A and B are shown apart, each in its own frame.
Chain A
């Protein structure tokens, strides 16, 4: 069945780059997403990538997709303390209205 796996924790220093990794199992994924969850808040869509793309850049965020290895990564450049949160990788595998399959989330801790 479908599964999305992420490492649980990442700790970086302010100003460094953070790279959060995700692997997924379903090769028919259409869209892959990164969501951010701050304490007590909902899931905020950070960015998404369509499965026929290799890379997407959006300001400090770079998403890399390796379809062969079913590996997705999120790079945050110049990480700030405000980036501390839980980051969820998610995939959707069918057409409109489909469910998202989430990973367990990676807790990013940024120290000053």
Chain B
């Protein structure tokens, strides 16, 4: 069964450093997303991406965040200057139609120290 692949599974970074979280969505999917889950809290929407541009973003997705689809297969989330409160599990998801059947990756656990 097709999967969304995320790397790395766990990343530790120092406060103020830049991190790039990587995702390979399912190949025929057109809509791509990033969500995050702070420990013990809800899964929160960050951003959606379609047709090579951001289609929707939440208040969390401020100027320190950016997304990119640098080639035909990868979808990345960059956090420019990490803060302690950015520590969370980050999930990538993709969808063929954008209306249902989102497939999520296993997540990247980001720890900012």
Query: Which residues of A does B touch, CB under 8 Å?
Result: 4, 30-31, 33, 35, 40-45, 48, 88, 90, 92, 95-105
Contact between B106 and A96, CB atoms less than 8 A apart: no
Contact between B44 and A33, CB atoms less than 8 A apart: no
> Contact check: which of B44, B91, B99, B104 meets A95 at CB < 8 Å?
B99
Nearest CB on B from A59, distance (A)? 17
The residues of A that contact B55 with a CB separation of less than 8 Å are 97
Nearest CB on A from B53, distance (A)? 11
Contact between A100 and B102, CB atoms less than 8 A apart: yes
Knowing that A103-B42, A105-B43 are A-B contacts, what are 12 other residue pairs whose CB atoms are under 8 Å apart, sorted by A's residue number?
A: A33-B102, A42-B105, A43-B91, A43-B93, A48-B101, A96-B31, A97-B31, A97-B48, A97-B95, A99-B33, A100-B43, A100-B102
Contact between A100 and B106, CB atoms less than 8 A apart: no
User: B68 an interface residue at 8 Å Cβ cutoff?
Assistant: no
The residues of B that contact A97 with a CB separation of less than 8 Å are 31, 48, 50, 55-56, 95, 98
Query: Which residues of B does A touch, CB under 8 Å?
Result: 4, 6, 31, 33, 35, 41-45, 48, 50, 55-56, 58, 91, 93, 95, 97-107
Q: Can you list 8 A-B pairs with a CB-CB distance of less than 8 A? A: A43-B43, A43-B93, A48-B101, A95-B98, A96-B99, A97-B31, A99-B48, A105-B43
> Contact check: which of B45, B99, B107 meets A31 at CB < 8 Å?
B99
The residues of A that contact B35 with a CB separation of less than 8 Å are 100, 102
The residues of A that contact B50 with a CB separation of less than 8 Å are 96-97
The residues of B that contact A102 with a CB separation of less than 8 Å are 35, 42-44
The residues of A that contact B4 with a CB separation of less than 8 Å are 42
Distance A97 CA – B33 CA, assembled complex (angstroms): 9
Distance A42 CA – B94 CA, assembled complex (angstroms): 13
User: Known: A42-B91, A103-B42, A104-B42. Is A98-B104 also a contact (CB below 8 A)?
Assistant: no
The residues of A that contact B99 with a CB separation of less than 8 Å are 30-31, 92, 95-96
Contact between B100 and A104, CB atoms less than 8 A apart: no
Contact between B45 and A101, CB atoms less than 8 A apart: yes
